[in-house]
Structure formats: C-alpha cells, structure tokens
Structure 1
Amino acid sequence: MRARLHFRSLESRILTLFMLLIVVVQVVGLLVIQGGIESNARASIAQELTNGGKVFRRLMEQNAQNLRFGARLLARDTAFVAAIGNNDESDRATIESALANHGRRIKASASMLVSAEREISATTSDVHAAGLKKLVLGMLDQAEASDGANGIGIVNRYPYQVVVMPVKAPIVIGWIVMTFPIDNQVVAEMRNISALQTSIVTHDGKGAWLPVASTLPLPLATALVQHMEAARPAADGAFEAQLEHDRYSARRLELGEDAGQGVSVVLARSFDEAISEYARLERWLLGLTVAGIIVSAAVSVVTAKRIAQPIRELVTVARRLEKGDYKGQIEFVREDEIGTLAHAFDSMRDGIARREQEIRRLAYWDTLTNLPNRAQFVLHLQDSIAEARKHESSVFVLMMDLDRFKHVNDVMGHSFGDALLRQVAGRLQLTLANRRNTSAQVARLGGDEFAVLLPDCSLDLAQMVARALLESLETPLSLDDQMVDIGAGMGIAGYPLHGDDPELLMSLAEVAMYTAKQRTEGAVVYDAAFDQSSAQSLSLLTELRNAIERNEFRLFVQPKISLATGKAVGAEALVRWVHPERGNVFPDQFIPFAEQTGFIRVLTRWMMEQSAMLSQQLASQGIDLKISVNLSTRDLMDQDLPAKFADLLARHQLAPSAFCLEITESAIMDDPVRAQQTLERLHLMGMDLSIDDFGTGYSSLAYLKRLPVNELKIDKSFVLNMEHDTGDAKIVRSTIDLGHNMGLRVVAEGIESEAVWRLLVLMGCDQAQGYFMSRPIPGGDLAKWVTQWQAPEGLGEAAAAPGASVASVAK
C-alpha cells in the first residue's frame, strides 16, 4: 500500500513523466529515422533498377552492333561472295567452312546462309537452323532495308541474339545469319557494370518460367522466378522477393518473343546491402539515446525533489482549509514560484471565507428582487409543513404568473422587464405587510413566477390573501413615464388538503395557476380534475400527432355557388378526423385545442397540401373551382407562410388564383401589424383573401378597409333565420352593401332553404354555401357533385321570396 502511494506521489510522477517523454521522443526519432532510411533505400533501389534496365538494353545493343560488324566482314569477303554467286555444289564446302571459321572468331554459337530464294542453304547447326528458321525469314526484309537486323530467338528454352546481314553483289544474293547466346557472360558483365543481380529467364507457350543464366546461385535464381510468378508484378514489372535472409526489390524487363516463347531479364537489388551503410549510424543513435535517458533520469530526480518537498507542506495547509479553518496565516517564505503559491494560498483563505457567505446568499436569494428563490422557498415550505404536522394546522401555497409579461419584455426590452419585476415584488411585499398574517413569505421562483407561503392559514384566508394580491396588481404600474397594466393568474394548494410534500404542493399550485390563466378567473384552488384534464390534453396532442402520421384526417369540401348563375364557383376545404376508436371526430372537438397548442400549423400545412392535390385533380378534369382554406391566428403570425405557399404552388404547378385564404376577424386583431404584413405578402402573390365570420368580431372598420382582402363571408348565425328575423335580414343587407361599397365579393354561409336563397338574390349577395346546396362531402366526390348539380329552376330570378316583404328586407 505504501509503495503504491509512493508511486502516486508528485515526485514519482514528475520522474515518470520526464522519463516517458524522453523515451517516447527517442523511440519516435528512431522510428522516423528508420522509416526515412527505408524510404530512401526504396527510392534509391527503384532508381538503380530503372537505370539498370537502361544499361542492360544498352549493353544488348552494343553486343548486337559488335555482332553485326563481325557478320558484315564475312558478308563483304570477296571469296565468300564469289562462292555464293557461283551457286555451285563444289563451293558448298567452302561456304560452310567460312561460316564455321568466322563464327568461331566472333564466338557465334551457330552460323547460317540463307539463299536468294530465302531458303537456308548452309548451316553449322541444324538445331539452330530448325529452331530459328521462322524468326530469321521474318527478319530478311528488315536486314535488306537497313543493311542488317538483329533480334532475339529461343532454341530449346535458351535465348540467342540473332544477327542477319545481307550479302550483296551488288544486289542481294543471300543473307548471313549469326546467333550468339545470351548466357552467364552477359549477366556477369551486367553485374560488373551496375552491381545489380541479373538473371535471364525464358517462358514457354504455357507461361512456365525457367532461369537460364544468373549472377545468383541457381536455387536463389529459381526462388526469384517463383516469387515473380506469385507476386504478379506491377505495370513496370516491379516486385519484391525474400531470398533466404535477404529482401530484394526486383524488376522484370521484356527482351523479346519467338514463336510464343519469351525472354526477359530480371534485375534485383538487396535491401540489406542498400541500408548496410546506415547500420552504424543507428547503433550510434541508440547509444546516445541510452546515455540521454540516464542523464535525464538523474536530473529529473533532483528537480522532482525540489518541487515536491515544499508542496507537501502546502498540502498540510490545504487540509486545514478543507476543514474550514481559515484563521491561521500561512508562513512560508520563498522567492520563487512556490513562494508565490504560498502567498496565493493565503489570499485564497480570505477569499473563500468571503465567497462562502456570498454563495450562500446567491443559492437561496433572488438577485433581482432580493426575495427568496425557489430553493429557499422549498426549505421554508418544508419547515412549515413539519411545524403544521406537529400542531395539526394548515399551510397554503399561492403561485402566480404575470399576464403579458413576455409581450412587455419584447416591446420595452429586458431592462424595463427587470424593473417591472422589482416593482411587482415590492407591491406584493407591501400588500402582505398590510395583512394581519405577518408570517406570510413571498418568493420569486424564476421568470415572471412568484409564490407566497401562508403558514398556519385556512383555505378561506388563503383565498382572501390571493384576492388582495390580485387586486394590488390591478393598479397600473408606472415605469419611465410608461403606464403598464398587468395582471396575473394564481393557483392555490395546501397541506393537508391536497398533499404533504413540498414539491408536490408547488406542482399542484402550478397546475391550478395555469388553469386560472386559461379560464381567466384570477385565483383558482387546485382540484384533482385539473390533472385529469391536463392528462387528456396531453393525450389529445399525442393522438393528433399520430393522426397526421397514420393518415387519419380526411379532406371534406362544401361547394360555393354563384347566386347570379347558380353554378358552382368554389368550395371551402374542411377537415374530418376518422379516429380508429372514437370514429368520426368533428372539428369543434379538436380544432380549438390545436390552435391553443400550436398544432394548427401542422394541420394547416396538411390542409393546403390536400387542397392543392384536389385542385390539381379538378383542373385535369376541366373543372375550375377556387378552393377556400381557413388560416388561424398562429398561421398569420408565421412570417414564412408566403414562402411555404409559394413552394406548394410550384410543386403542384398551380396558379395563386386557385386558392382563397379565409381569416377570421379575431385572428387579424390579435396582432394587426404582423397580420397585415403577412396578408399583404400573400396578396402580392395573387391569392384571394377573405374575412370569415364577418360581424361576430370586434374589428375596426377603419382598420379593415386597409387590409388587402377580396371577400367578406357573412357568418351563418345571421343567415340561418333571416327569413323570420327582420333584424338578421337588416344586418345581412347592411353587410352586403358594406362589402360592395368596399369593392369586395360577399359570400353568405348557412343557406338552408330556398326562401333564404331568394332573399340573398334580392339583396345582391354574390355567392353562397350551405346545406340547401350541399352538405360537406369528401373531396374525392366533388367532381361528381359538380357534374350532377343543377340549380332549381327560377332561383336565379330576382323574384320576391314567398311570404317575405321585399320592402321590409330592403329597409
């Protein structure tokens, strides 16, 4: 155990680190140098092999020139030429003797004479004559044209350099052929010139290789050929081979072919020979490495001891600080970095003591309002519950969230919002101070949320305190010459009425608070039904998301008819939900929730996509109808909405005039500036815009006249009973006149009888929709409905409806 601790000491770590660094640096250096040596050796050998190939070819050319010179001497010998020219049988022995004698002088392995009729007429070797006949006859024309030719021939797997020289008197009367072996003499000469191991190899028609001459011993030459066959050399013929204990880099060069057989030269260079001159350098480097490690170890030991000893003394001081003892001053005098560290420790001791107090304040108090924060509030609530449990009393929690605070922050800025929160905190504290229950505590939980703790309090008293706090916020706040009207929603929960855990009570109070904000009821006491409603809402949102993914929504449409012609001119797109368990779910059961949660944007995109597909199908059948789609408040607040519509129109190749977008008055008035910006961009694209449910909102006509709309839709609540209600009829007539005076198209919805149709015709209404013409039908049935629809006879005529007074309607 002590050995392990000693190894973990700073002293041992410094020593280990230094040693590791030196060893790593030296090893990396060795590896890099070895890699460089290897790389340089490979590059050098590759260059040697390339140059060797050039040297060997040059050597072969020189040999060929020498042989051609020797053959030329015989071809120009007067007696030899005369003997050939006589073409007498008595001169045949003279010719053969001349071929043999001259061949011995120039060390030819065989000599031949080819007659003018291109037949071998004399030879010193029948074997060579038979083996080289085809090659020789193929070289005659080249020899005659170039005053000699040379090539490579193979006889019995052995290569020969063949020289053909024409005999002229003055025309060609024959050809002299001399063959010279490519044997050990050639490879030995190559070895002397280049220091490369040289091997001559041949292969037969089946591709079997045979070494015929080599500067290597026969077993090594045979092994080299086997490596060449197995390695499949690269395009330049390069390959590597391991011969006994040496590595070789080799390259094969083609010399020639004869009757399907080939001859090549294999040049090889030993790696070990190439890098042998660097071995001494590596040994020196290794020695220097060992010496450097020994010296560094000694220096590291001294340095580690000098650093570690004073640090051990500082460790003792740090442990004292760890226990919270900040009183003793550190006495450590040194003029180096260790002394500076000791002085820093002393300063740290004073700083820690001050910051502990500050951290405690920050951990439990809100810096903006100087009120307890959530952590402190939970501790107080926990203590109050424990005290109430002892005395069998009650504790209540009030949680409140300010209304429209985010809007204030966005419009006036965060500094204004912070000042507002400070004023709200002051007003809450003042209100509680004026109450008899002086033990109440207010806290800021975060953002614009506040909480009030009421220990030893009844439910009635808690509700009274809640009302007093809400009333205190009804008076507008004054900040920077700005009057801010702000309210709040408040939830109430208590022990033991609702729970006995602090976090649970705060959670229940929060549920009640959000319920209060939704209902705009001020203060609401928690009820278990709230949680059930929250769970149902969460379940409904999940089901809506699944409905999109599972394609449970269906597109329905309700046709729109021109009252002047009785023809279908458009259709309003509607949505139906075919739930797998609930069956058909009507829009009023899920659309308000979708608008509240923001899911309406997803649903609007689905409606636009389905409506675009329907419009495309109708156009392909020659039916031109304008599809009306409803937009919600959240849709109008989406600044990217025009770009999304443009993409939709481009994908389905539709004109903007194929759609009419319907917006309710309330949706416009929630944020008139942003709504108008979005509507203007849609209008510039060429889309018709309609104000839906006109007459039920609270919009200003002065504002509405600036909107780029094309249509007004009269709400069905005014149309359904207008034949029996003079007041509704007057409203409808006034709305029609208003729309026409503003240059707008007017559409009435909720037409359920012929009498209402006739009244609308008299009033000059442009279009209508309702059950009288058609109930909502699936989108796929719209084309069939259009072809079958016929307006009842006479409905387009401007005749008074039975039982109705035209004059009364007009008035």
Structure 2
Amino acid sequence: MFEIGLVVASLILLIFSLYILQAKYRSQRSQQKFLAQLCLQLEQQKIERQALDLGTVPQEFAPLYHTLDELLKALPASAGKDKLTGLVNRVGLKRALTSMMPLTQGTLVLIDIYRFRYVNDLFGFVFGDILLKQFAERLNSLSLSPRLIARLNGDEFCLYYEQALTEEQLIHLRGRLQVPFSIKNTPVSVKLQIGCVHLQEHHADTSQMLRRVDLALKKARHSRSAIAYYAENDDIQQLRELRIIDSLPKGLQRNQVYMVYQAKQDIATGRCFQVEALMRWEHDELGVISPGEFIPLAEYAGMIDLVSQWALDQVLAQQAKWRAAGIQLCVAVNLSTRDLDSETLPQEIAARLAHYKLPPESLMIEITESTLMADLTKAVETLDKIRALGVRLAIDDFGTGHSSLAYLKHLPVNEVKIDKAFLKDLEQDKPSEYILEASINIAKKLGYEVTVEGIETPEIREILVDMGVDTLQGMYYAKPMRAAELEMNWARLHNAM
C-alpha cells in the first residue's frame, strides 16, 4: 500500500507539472496539443491501466513522457483489489464492467450488512475485519455464482450476474448469506439489505448502473425492506432530493422556510401555556415541501446542524418578541438524532438563551422516541445536561417506535407526547382504548405530564380528558399559525376556560 501511495503521489506531482508546462508553452500549438492529449490519457488511467500511446513526442518532453510511462507500468495489479478481502474494489469493478460494455442482460446486486458498525463497536475492528473476510469467502462459495464480486466500501458488496435473478433467487441468496458466522468461538448473526437492478430493463453506462443499484439499496434502507428494486421514477425522485438538498441553505436565507406555531391546551385551566414550533417550506419551484421529506435529507447531507441552529434562533428570537409584548408561554422545538450526538449541544442552548435574555423554562426540546433509542446512554447523558439548565424536555411521537414503556423510567424528561396513531378507531375499538389508558396511567405514575396530539373531534377530546391527560394538541383546538396570527388569537387561546 505504501508503494502504491508513492507511485500515485509521484503521478500527481507530474500531472501538476504538466499543467504548469501547458501554461508555459501555450503559445506553441504543437506542445500544447501534446500536453492536452497526455493529460487526457492520464485521466483515463483512473479506469483503464493502459500504456501511453501518443505517437510523436516533442523532444523537450521525452524525459517526462518516459518517466510517466514507467510509473504507470509500476502500478501493481492490486490497485484494483481490496486489500482486506482480496475481492475487486470499486475501481476494479468499474474497470471490469466498462470492459464488458454494453451490458444489456443480467442483474446487478448491492448488499449492505445492516448496522455493521455495531460489530466494530462491540467487538473491535479486528473482529469486524474477520467478519468481512468470512463474508467475502461466503460470496465466493455461492452455488449461484456471480460473474463479478466486489467490495465497494466498509460493509457494501456488489455482485454482477449474467442472468436475470428472480425474487425467489434473491431471497435464497440473502438467506444463504445470513447464516450465522462463527468468529473466535462467538456466533455472529447479520442482517442484510439488498438493492437490485435488472439490466435488461435498465441498462446504461457503468457509472449510471452503479448509481441506480445504489438508489435501489437506499430504497431498501428507507422502507426497511429486505430487498428493493430500481424503478424508472427513482431517478426523478433522486433529482428532486438533490434539488431539495441544494436549495435548502438558500431556502433558509430567503425565508422560504419559516415557522408556524400550534397551541396546546392545558386541560386543568382550558388555557394555552405552550406552543409547538413546526417548520414549513414553500419552495419557489417545487411548492410546499413537508418537513417529513426535507429533514431526513438534511440529516443525510450533513446539514441538520444548520437547520437546527436556524430553528432554535427563529424560535428564541420570536420568544423574545412575545415576552416583550407580554405573551408568556413555553415554545417546544424538535431536535434530531444528529443534534443529540453533539457534545456541545447543552452549551449552545445555554448560550442562545443568554443571547436572547430568555429564562430556560421558556424553551422545551422535543426528541422523537426513535432518536432516543438510537444511542440511549449517550442521549440520556446529553438530556441530563440540557435539563440541568432548566430547559423542559419531552418525548415526541411516543409509542410509535420500539422503546415501549420499559425505558421510560430512564429518561430525564418532563413530558410524554403520545402519538395520534393511538387515536385511530379509538371510539370503536376497546383494546385500543385500554392500551392508551394504560400508557397514560403508567406515564403519570412515573411523574411525567402527558400530552396527546392529533385531537380532531370533541368526542375524542372528552375521552382523553376522562383518562386524565394533562395537555391536548390538535386541529380541534388550534391549527398551526404564523407568529402574527397566533398573536391575534392569543387572548382567546390564553383566556379560554
């Protein structure tokens, strides 16, 4: 690997020298043409390792040309191989697929070892490397043998079959690869997700094919499916997603993204003491974009910090205006998994509260249940620090994830928000009513306030009041409103009984 690094570094320096020479000799057409052709061929070496062949070489460039040619010849064949598993790597796969073009038959399969990083976290990187080696060996021993096998990155493997695989064959393939491994006398089970492209229907150039199989795998991840297939409109969806990601910073700057506030009703008094801040985006070309669409994309693109900081600033700036106008309330804002990963989040919240001269109890942070369960220990540590500031905390969408009530006693929160999914068929379905009432009772006995969201009828409201819910939120009480509209309705919301 060190030798490869030296060769590649030498190539980079020589290519840089070429561009300097190109500028130096730009007035001389023959030299410039030669240098342009040489640069083009060197770029091609990223895919195909071929000898340089430029015909006549100007005398002044002969030493440089021959040095480059020798360096290219010195590149070992392992440059297209994965050192750990011995499989073809991404460069080698591209090279092999390109040499077989056009590919109008067969199946491209992309396999992901689900949550492989937990193997490294639990057992260490040596253990993880052994698992990857054994997985590669299993791929090589498949009875349904692929033409090409490649390791693309840490936990992704790509297979090319010359025949069109049926769904039954893919299910069998997945089952064969998921048989538990034995590593250092420890049984290790893996779960696989698969993306698939049938080339007879969706053949293209190498880069396009690899992008499409990656889209199929992404579809499997998002839908939590075992196997997903590329479809024609996936390209359209990806272009939309790329456009959303690209225009999000501009949307924040140009106020296309804005906050609305939905009032919550305190059952004991009938008044409003809290509102939840909700993001909205009116894109100038794509129209209204739901937070359910652009927030996951912001997380994927590494921009969630930008969005969360913007949201906190918007909410706290508005809070300062309301307090100056005599409107006293607590505003809840949602934060994401990535936000909780930040060790400086408590300090950032404290600094913002000080900047806007706001008491900590004027802010509530809502965290979804699935966010908490991603890394419970770390989440609790961060939430403890935030609560120590005096900021209120709530679990949002409780009951829709996988934590159940078992983890509730560990969470340093003030409030549990029960998801509107519990209200479906509540009036006609007694088991749903019993489950909801039991959840409310347990949360209250543990000392938490309980809010139920999604209230749309007076009948549902009365059932929840009888169950002892503390706070209600939903269209029956108040719709989400811009700040100015909330101010106009504040007297009615705050003074209602």
- What is the TM-score with the length of structure 2 in the denominator? 0.76
Residue 115 of structure 2 is aligned to residue 404 of structure 1: yes
- 1:458 corresponding residue in structure 2: 163
Judged with a 3 Å threshold, the aligned counterparts in structure 2 of structure 1 residues 501 and 494 are, in CA distance, closer, same or farther, namely farther
- 1:257 corresponding residue in structure 2: none
Aligned length: 429
- 1:630 corresponding residue in structure 2: 334
* 1:698 maps to which of 380, 402, 407: 402
Residue 249 of structure 2 is aligned to residue 545 of structure 1: yes
Residue 118 of structure 2 is aligned to residue 413 of structure 1: no
Q: How does 1:5-404 map to 2 (within 5 A)?
A: 360-385=76-101, 394-404=105-115
* 2:385 maps to which of 681, 684, 687: 681
* 1:532 maps to which of 207, 220, 236: 236
* 2:266 maps to which of 559, 562, 567: 562
Matched-pair contact (CA < 8 Å) for 1:560–1:572: yes
Q: How does 1:484-503 map to 2 (within 5 A)?
A: 484-493=188-197, 497-499=201-203, 501-503=205-207
Matched-pair contact (CA < 8 Å) for 2:272–2:494: no
1:760 deviates by 3.5
Matched-pair contact (CA < 8 Å) for 1:493–1:508: yes
Matched-pair contact (CA < 8 Å) for 1:420–1:479: yes
SS of equivalent to 2:83: coil
Matched-pair contact (CA < 8 Å) for 2:178–2:192: no
CA distance in 2, matches of 1:663, 1:363: 46
CA distance in 1, matches of 2:494, 2:75: 82
Q: Which amino acid in 2 is paired with 1:417?
A: G
Q: CA-to-partner distance for each residue in 1:295-335, whole Å, 9 max, x for gaps?
A: xxxxxxxxxxxxxxxxxxxxxxxxxxxxxxxxxxxxxxxxx
CA distance in 1, matches of 2:151, 2:292: 39
- 1:708 corresponding residue in structure 2: 412
SS of equivalent to 2:202: coil
Matched-pair contact (CA < 8 Å) for 2:264–2:473: yes
- 1:738 corresponding residue in structure 2: 442
- 2:141 corresponding residue in structure 1: 430
CA distance in 1, matches of 2:164, 2:376: 43
1:627 deviates by 1.0
- 1:767 corresponding residue in structure 2: 471
* 1:444 maps to which of 144, 151, 162: 151
CA distance in 2, matches of 1:659, 1:556: 16
**Which moved further from structure 2: 587-596 or 691-700?**
587-596
Q: How does 1:578-727 map to 2 (within 5 A)?
A: 578-719=282-423, 722-723=426-427, 725-727=429-431
Matched-pair contact (CA < 8 Å) for 1:668–1:675: yes
Q: Which amino acid in 1 is paired with 2:222?
A: Q
Matched-pair contact (CA < 8 Å) for 2:106–2:165: no
CA distance in 1, matches of 2:99, 2:423: 64
CA distance in 1, matches of 2:219, 2:288: 29
SS of equivalent to 1:478: strand
CA distance in 1, matches of 2:196, 2:426: 48
CA distance in 1, matches of 2:452, 2:89: 57
Matched-pair contact (CA < 8 Å) for 2:256–2:282: yes
CA distance in 1, matches of 2:396, 2:204: 51
1:466 deviates by 4.3
Residue 183 of structure 2 is aligned to residue 476 of structure 1: no
CA distance in 1, matches of 2:286, 2:165: 42
- 1:748 corresponding residue in structure 2: 452
1:582 deviates by 4.7
- 1:516 corresponding residue in structure 2: 220
Matched-pair contact (CA < 8 Å) for 2:398–2:419: yes
CA distance in 2, matches of 1:721, 1:513: 35
Matched-pair contact (CA < 8 Å) for 1:555–1:610: yes
CA distance in 2, matches of 1:600, 1:356: 43
Judged with a 3 Å threshold, the aligned counterparts in structure 2 of structure 1 residues 500 and 574 are, in CA distance, closer, same or farther, namely closer
Q: CA-to-partner distance for each residue in 1:637-696, whole Å, 9 max, x for gaps?
A: 222211211111111011111111112222211221121111111111111111222233
Q: CA RMSD in A?
A: 3.2
1:612 deviates by 0.8
SS of equivalent to 1:566: coil
1:522 deviates by 3.9
CA distance in 2, matches of 1:750, 1:504: 43
CA distance in 1, matches of 2:461, 2:218: 47
Q: Which amino acid in 2 is paired with 1:765?
A: V
CA distance in 1, matches of 2:360, 2:168: 58
Judged with a 3 Å threshold, the aligned counterparts in structure 2 of structure 1 residues 453 and 558 are, in CA distance, closer, same or farther, namely closer
Matched-pair contact (CA < 8 Å) for 1:553–1:578: yes
1:771 deviates by 2.4
1:425 deviates by 0.7
Matched-pair contact (CA < 8 Å) for 2:261–2:278: yes
1:590 deviates by 3.2
Matched-pair contact (CA < 8 Å) for 1:633–1:670: yes
SS of equivalent to 2:333: strand
Judged with a 3 Å threshold, the aligned counterparts in structure 2 of structure 1 residues 681 and 599 are, in CA distance, closer, same or farther, namely same
CA distance in 2, matches of 1:421, 1:620: 60
Judged with a 3 Å threshold, the aligned counterparts in structure 2 of structure 1 residues 522 and 583 are, in CA distance, closer, same or farther, namely closer
CA distance in 2, matches of 1:441, 1:538: 30
Matched-pair contact (CA < 8 Å) for 2:107–2:165: no
Question: Structure 1 vs Structure 2: percent identity of aligned residues?
Answer: 33
Matched-pair contact (CA < 8 Å) for 1:614–1:780: no
Judged with a 3 Å threshold, the aligned counterparts in structure 2 of structure 1 residues 491 and 358 are, in CA distance, closer, same or farther, namely farther
Judged with a 3 Å threshold, the aligned counterparts in structure 2 of structure 1 residues 407 and 597 are, in CA distance, closer, same or farther, namely farther
Q: CA-to-partner distance for each residue in 1:341-378, whole Å, 9 max, x for gaps?
A: xxxxxxxxxxxx9x999953423433322233444444
CA distance in 2, matches of 1:769, 1:395: 53
CA distance in 1, matches of 2:468, 2:168: 58
CA distance in 2, matches of 1:524, 1:566: 49
SS of equivalent to 1:683: helix
SS of equivalent to 1:751: coil
**Structure 1 residue runs without a partner (length 5+):** 1-352, 796-811
Judged with a 3 Å threshold, the aligned counterparts in structure 2 of structure 1 residues 626 and 379 are, in CA distance, closer, same or farther, namely closer
CA distance in 2, matches of 1:764, 1:519: 36
- 2:29 corresponding residue in structure 1: none
SS of equivalent to 2:258: strand
**Which moved further from structure 2: 402-411 or 496-505?**
496-505
Matched-pair contact (CA < 8 Å) for 1:428–1:472: no
Taking CA–CA contacts closer than 8 Å with sequence separation of 6 or more, which of the two structures ends up with the larger relative contact order? Answer: 2
CA distance in 2, matches of 1:579, 1:356: 50
Matched-pair contact (CA < 8 Å) for 2:281–2:290: yes
SS of equivalent to 2:86: coil
Q: CA-to-partner distance for each residue in 1:705-759, whole Å, 9 max, x for gaps?
A: 0111111222223347645554444334323322221111122223334444444
Matched-pair contact (CA < 8 Å) for 2:369–2:403: yes
Superposed structure 1 runs of 4+ greater than 6 Å apart: 355-358
Matched-pair contact (CA < 8 Å) for 1:401–1:490: yes
